[in-house]
Homo-oligomer: A and B are copies of this chain.
């Protein structure tokens, strides 16, 4: 990537041993030569970043061009295109664990947690905790023992692969489930599990990575203590940052500052928690949950909250577009080919152990629930939901980041990375592409199409009503023939009548749609209001700094 860039005028082709160069680099760190290097790095990185983004966006427009592509979710399409680029050996960026963990993951975790409703999460806290903790242990053991038994991989390495593959990836899973429009319950269970088991898997990986190097041996007491410390620091610091920023944003009303603070919260929490030896993942999730459910309500006016949510939606789309393309683009087909046996064994072990944990733990939850009915408001988890949880547990960037962070000195590192990669691709491409048929087969997309149909009818009615209004205004305009006018009017009125009938038919068949429509109406009103303000602010007729005050007044008047 720095090919051909003359550094301070020198560009000879000498060769040094890596050690000498490493030392040289360390010594140079603060010198001007590195500044020059850094400048070029900035430019080169920016260029590559724009390239990746452009490719991703082209992928996003594919469904507009080719109809059949619409069946494939955007994220998986990115993986496929990335894999195709890798096939012709076009490598866009080298994914490093730091890039994934420090740059890409925090905003994605934050956004997911920000949008997770605490109310829903609390209801299902018991199964989610069970999945995230016990589920990870089952998965590590299952995949590890399977690989040791049938692929002849030493147990210490096999467990490491197991740990890498135990975190269902929040990014992949959430992106997919949102696109498919799965019901709230399953989404909460899946998102909750994915957000929390990451932390657990990362901790497990950290514990296991020392063993094959001979640095550590396994000691249950030490392990449990360490898990509690790592999780505790994450939750503690996350809560501190979350409530701290909630408090701050309550003290003033500066939308842009509040928006910036959420960005600082996401990245800052991760860095600080990691620095303190805690789980950054758990830290960010905690902060995001607090800010999304508490801080944004307490400290932000509705408009700011809306803008911040939109900003994070964009950021998540943005990062997702990059991450999934790069996952596909990282594939080394030849190395994958050499490791087909461990990959196959790992896939089998993973699918079986996940079946064990999802069905087993769900049943346990349902039994507990039955003996404890009424205390929490939770329904039992249906076998259909269990099946989706089992098959929908995709692995993604977190697994890859963990595998890539296996130390270079560990023999068998290549094989670990290849195996994890192979399994991740299997989950994304095979499981990912079959989740939708599964949902349809289980009849779980149930009322989503219904709601869709309902909203479409409402939208059509609104559109026709606006047409009618426009026609009314036109009455008496000399340039319109009266006949034509009457004919059009009759047509539109007829259309509206038909729609009204269809809507009432739908409503009487599905009474819940009324609540749904009321909720939509409230959102609509708020958004009209917000849009009007925004229009005034944008056209310069209203001062930005003062607009927020008005929002406050308005918020009170409407709620």
Q: Which residues of A contact B (CB under 8 A)?
A: 1-3, 5-16, 18-35, 37-43, 46-47, 50, 53-54, 57, 60-61, 64, 94, 96-99, 102-103, 181, 184, 248, 251-252, 254, 256-257, 259-261, 263-264, 267-268, 271, 302-303, 306-307, 309-311, 313-314, 317-318, 321, 408, 452, 455-456, 458-460, 462-467, 470-471, 473-474, 478-481, 484, 488, 491-492, 495, 500, 503-504, 507, 513-514, 517-518, 520-521, 523-525, 527-529, 531-536, 538-544, 546-547, 550, 553-554, 557-558
Nearest opposing residue in chain B for A39, CB measure: B98
Nearest opposing residue in chain B for A451, CB measure: B541
Most buried by B among A12, A24, A40: A24
List chain B residues, Cβ under 8 A from A488: 525, 558
Q: Is the CB of B528 within 8 A of A466?
A: yes
New A-B contacts (16) at CB < 8 Å, excluding given A60-B254, A452-B546: A2-B25, A10-B23, A12-B23, A13-B27, A18-B28, A50-B264, A53-B260, A53-B263, A60-B256, A60-B257, A61-B252, A61-B257, A310-B534, A452-B542, A460-B550, A478-B503
What is the CA–CA distance of A13 and B22 in the complex, to the nearest angstrom? 11
Q: Which of the residues B26, B46, B455 comes within 8 Å of A10, measured between beta carbons?
A: B26
Tell whether A184 pairs with B540 under 8 Å between CB atoms, given A2-B30, A42-B99, A470-B528: yes
Q: Is the CB of B25 within 8 A of A28?
A: yes
Q: Is the CB of B309 within 8 A of A538?
A: yes
Q: Which of the residues B263, B467, B500, B536 comes within 8 Å of A529, measured between beta carbons?
A: B467
Q: Is the CB of A513 within 8 A of B10?
A: no
Nearest opposing residue in chain B for A106, CB measure: B46
Closest 8 CB pairs of A and B: A2-B29, A463-B532, A459-B536, A39-B98, A479-B517, A256-B317, A7-B22, A10-B22
List chain B residues, Cβ under 8 A from A18: 8, 28, 31-33
Q: Is the CB of A27 within 8 A of B38?
A: no
CB distance from A96 to the nearest CB of B (A): 5
What is the CA–CA distance of A66 and B14 in the complex, to the nearest angstrom? 60
Tell whether A5 pairs with B26 under 8 Å between CB atoms, given A99-B42, A455-B542, A463-B554: yes
Nearest opposing residue in chain B for A524, CB measure: B470
CB distance from A308 to the nearest CB of B (A): 9
What is the CA–CA distance of A480 and B520 in the complex, to the nearest angstrom? 10
CB distance from A370 to the nearest CB of B (A): 29
Nearest opposing residue in chain B for A317, CB measure: B256
Q: Is the CB of A257 within 8 A of B57?
A: yes
Q: Which of the residues B25, B30, B459 comes within 8 Å of A3, measured between beta carbons?
A: B30
Q: Is the CB of A14 within 8 A of B23?
A: yes
Q: Which of the residues B46, B254, B514, B528 comes within 8 Å of A102, measured between beta carbons?
A: B46
List chain B residues, Cβ under 8 A from A54: 264, 268
What is the CA–CA distance of A60 and B255 in the complex, to the nearest angstrom? 11
Q: Is the CB of A539 within 8 A of B518?
A: no
Q: Which of the residues B53, B257, B309 comes within 8 Å of A264, measured between beta carbons?
A: B53
List chain B residues, Cβ under 8 A from A531: 302-303, 306
What is the CA–CA distance of A387 and B485 in the complex, to the nearest angstrom? 42
Q: Is the CB of B1 within 8 A of A267?
A: no
Q: Is the CB of A21 within 8 A of B24?
A: yes
List chain B residues, Cβ under 8 A from A520: 541
16 of the cross-chain contacts (CB-CB < 8 Å) are A11-B26, A12-B23, A15-B27, A18-B28, A22-B33, A43-B98, A43-B271, A64-B252, A260-B318, A455-B536, A459-B550, A462-B473, A466-B529, A480-B517, A481-B514, A527-B539
What is the CA–CA distance of A100 and B455 in the complex, to the nearest angstrom? 48
Nearest opposing residue in chain B for A520, CB measure: B541
List chain B residues, Cβ under 8 A from A43: 98, 102, 271
List chain B residues, Cβ under 8 A from A533: 459, 463
Nearest opposing residue in chain B for A448, CB measure: B543
What is the CA–CA distance of A462 and B537 in the complex, to the nearest angstrom? 13
Q: Which of the residues B46, B455, B479 comes within 8 Å of A267, measured between beta carbons?
A: B46
Tell whether A46 pairs with B103 under 8 Å between CB atoms, given A252-B61, A470-B528: yes
List chain B residues, Cβ under 8 A from A495: 557
Q: Is the CB of A314 within 8 A of B313?
A: no
Nearest opposing residue in chain B for A259, CB measure: B314
Nearest opposing residue in chain B for A454, CB measure: B479
Nearest opposing residue in chain B for A526, CB measure: B467
List chain B residues, Cβ under 8 A from A21: 24-25, 27-28, 31, 33
Tell whether A3 pairs with B29 under 8 Å between CB atoms, given A518-B479, A531-B306, A557-B491: yes
List chain B residues, Cβ under 8 A from A2: 25-26, 29-30
List chain B residues, Cβ under 8 A from A13: 27
Q: Is the CB of B3 within 8 A of A271?
A: no
What is the CA–CA distance of A546 and B462 in the complex, to the nearest angstrom? 17
What is the CA–CA distance of A64 and B254 in the complex, to the nearest angstrom? 10
List chain B residues, Cβ under 8 A from A523: 539
Tell whether A541 pairs with B264 under 8 Å between CB atoms, given A2-B30, A10-B23, A21-B27: no
List chain B residues, Cβ under 8 A from A479: 458, 503, 507, 513-514, 517-518
